[in-house]
Amino acid sequence: MPPDFEPGRRRRLDTDPDNVERDLVRLVLTIVELVRQLMERQAMRRVDAGDLTEYQEERIGLTLMLLEDRMDCLRERFGLTPEDLNLDLGLLWLIASASWRERN
């Protein structure tokens, strides 16, 4: 869960027309970050299980590092911090978190 997640507390997007682009980017990057974290967890699970060759492990590691770097660039471009991406995705976030806890 996001570090500042509090059950019952909702964080909403600002609907000011002047901020639409930034808020849309914030939402999209939040979802991309969720997917990135899920991919990273899946990769770690596969590495731990010995399902990957050394070459595949290196490729996955490089891909995840590049994705994280691109995320940093996009956050910087739109003036966002990692904390700004801790939107309450409601059920989507809870399902992803529960799925992760069940496997580990």
Q: Cα separation of 61 and 89, whole Å?
A: 27
* Model confidence pLDDT, tens digit, residues 51-85: 899 999 999 999 999 998 999 999 999 888 888 88
The reported pTM is: 0.64
pLDDT at residue 2 is higher than 50: no
